[in-house]
Amino acid sequence: MAEEVDRLSALPLDIKTSVLLLLPIEDAVRTSSLSHSWRHVWTHLSSLCFLLSFPDDPDLHLWWVELFAYIISSLRGPLIDFYLCYYAHDNEPVDLFCFLNLIFLKGGLQKLSIDNNGCLALIQLPYFRSLRVLYLCHLHLLLPDDFQGFEHLEDLSLYGVCISQKDIQLLIDSSKNLRMFQGHVDSDDANTLSLIFNSPLLSDIQYYFTDSVKQVRVINAPNLEKAHVSACIGATSSKEECALIAALTSKFMPDIAAVSDFELDFETIKCFSQDVVPCGLGVQFLQLRSLHLEGIVSTLDERLFATFCCLLKNMPILESLDIKCLDDPNVLEGLVGLVEPDAFKVNKCIKKADGISCLEQSLRRLTVSVTNSINVVAMGMIRFILLNANVIELVEIIYRRGNEVEPSTVEELNLVEKASPDVNLVFSSTSDWF
């Protein structure tokens, strides 16, 4: 009988490490007990992902820290990609500086992601010369006094990061290869922040406005193609907060007016609609071809809808409109009986007498995604587009599986008088969350 061949152990090292990359790090380390040929395979990993909850027990906490240090120090080659998502109790903050120094000594790090779900932790970044991607969430960031910038950094994401005015501007200015910025930052003192992007290679900016910033400006970004603007406010925000967000975004809009792809949330639109004269944009997006709107639409009123129409008027060559209705089913149930279908102009299906250029000449696709059933406002927006878009070819309504569209809704939309003879109305379902 021929001797059996251990094909798994005979695999080349690069294939073995590719297999281990698919496993949680603790399982990858355990493969060292499989056989002699697997004993040190995990030490050749160049990418590590840690999902940790640091315990409040001092002994267990120390054990986790020592294990972390052992794994990092045991790697035989450079660490290219490192991701840490952790939760730490308030009385046991994680010593990130120690971990980052261990990674720094390995050299070659290109992607660093730290997602903090516990108490706000202080982090000081070593000079990772090869760093290309930096993602930080809920951290207090300090730059060293001799910081010279990440010369290869292309993707910078800062979510809820506390930082000084000096450090945030230094980080942006020194990243000469910056192509994408996303997130929002908070001041580490009582002062507000100003962010100025003079980034010739910047092609994508996603910013979430808060009251911690005084201004966000893009003064030099000839390659900017995509922009996302959101307001970090809630349904209970005051008129003063809305006015502040409207003022901030109004100053920011002219800087991104040349983008071809734009994303905006309904909370920001709501801030604009607080004015006596709806829609204070004051800028036209003459190159915009794709617009994405998302948020809660159940509270859409006549003034907010007027702002929505104003947006469309300022986007004359718009080709694709994507609307995500992220309404909470519990909120919608509370509105039943309080909101009449004809309460909003959006639900009266008006044929616009003054005309909107993109509806008359360019809009060819509308996608509406609903997390729950199609509510009265979403229905009204779909009917409005069907009635006014002269060249539209596809209207797709996507709903979450299990929240099927009522037959009466399908029938009602099919009976709407459609401005375009070529429009195709499609309903589809998905199991994904939008």
pLDDT at 32 over 80: no
Between helices 376-388 and 407-415, what is the axis angle to 10°? 20
Residue 28 near residue 61 (C-beta atoms within 8 A): no
pLDDT at 346 over 70: no
Higher pLDDT, 410 or 223: 223
147 located within any domain: no
DSSP state at residue 31: G
How confident is the model at residue 56, as a pLDDT? Answer: 63
Reported confidence tier of residue 345, pLDDT bands at 50, 70, 90? very low
- Closest among 190, 249, 185 to 217, alpha carbons compared: 249
Q: Which two tokens stand for residue 268?
A: 């920001």
pTM (2 decimals)? 0.86
Distance CA 366, CA 358 (A): 12
How confident is the model at residue 227, as a pLDDT? Answer: 96
- Could you write out the DSSP letters of every residue in 257-307? TT-SEEEEEHHHHHHHTTSSSS-------TT--EEEEEE--TT--HHHHHH
31 located within any domain: no
Distances 83 to 34, 80, 110, 116, 156 between C-alpha atoms, Å? 26, 10, 11, 11, 15
Q: 370 forms bridges with which residues in the sheet?
A: 325, 399
CB-count exposure of residue 147 (10 Å: 0-12, 13-18, 19+): middle
| pLDDT tens per residue across span 62-76 | 777 788 888 888 888
pLDDT at 89 over 70: no
Distance CA 41, CA 31 (A): 8
- Computed from CA positions of residues 58, 45, 133, 263, in that sequence, does the dihedral angle turn out positive or negative? negative
Q: What is the mean pLDDT of residues 284-306?
A: 84
Reported confidence tier of residue 257, pLDDT bands at 50, 70, 90? very high
Higher pLDDT, 89 or 276: 89
370 located within any domain: yes
Distance CA 226, CA 218 (A): 13
Listed ranges 4-13, 115-124, 205-214, 406-415; the one with the highest mean pLDDT: 205-214
333 located within any domain: yes
Q: Which two tokens stand for residue 113?
A: 């992601």
Look at residue 423 and give its three-state secondary structure. coil
Distance CA 76, CA 40 (A): 9
Reported confidence tier of residue 126, pLDDT bands at 50, 70, 90? confident
What is the domain-level CATH number for residue 271? 3.80.10
Domain assignment of residue 319, given as a range: 263-434
Element (H, E) at 312: helix 302-313
Reported confidence tier of residue 113, pLDDT bands at 50, 70, 90? very high
Give me the amino acid identity at 310: C
Percent with pLDDT over 90 in the chain: 34
**Overall domain count for the chain:** 1
Look at phi and psi of residue 256 and say left if phi exceeds 0, alpha if psi is from -120 to 50, else beta. Answer: alpha
Residue 138 near residue 162 (C-beta atoms within 8 A): no
Reported confidence tier of residue 361, pLDDT bands at 50, 70, 90? very high
Least-confidence region, from 36-50, 175-189, 308-322, 399-413 = 399-413
196 located within any domain: no
Q: 135 forms bridges with which residues in the sheet?
A: 113, 157
Task: Name the average pLDDT for the chain.
Answer: 82
Q: Which two tokens stand for residue 327?
A: 């309404």
Between helices 58-74 and 96-106, what is the axis angle to 10°? 10
Higher pLDDT, 51 or 175: 175
112 located within any domain: no
348 located within any domain: yes
225 located within any domain: no
Q: What is the mean pLDDT of residues 181-202?
A: 91
How confident is the model at residue 198, as a pLDDT? Answer: 95
pLDDT at 341 over 70: no
Reported confidence tier of residue 131, pLDDT bands at 50, 70, 90? very high
- Closest among 235, 429, 227, 427 to 327, alpha carbons compared: 235
Listed ranges 37-46, 276-285, 332-341; the one with the highest mean pLDDT: 37-46
How confident is the model at residue 336, as a pLDDT? Answer: 45
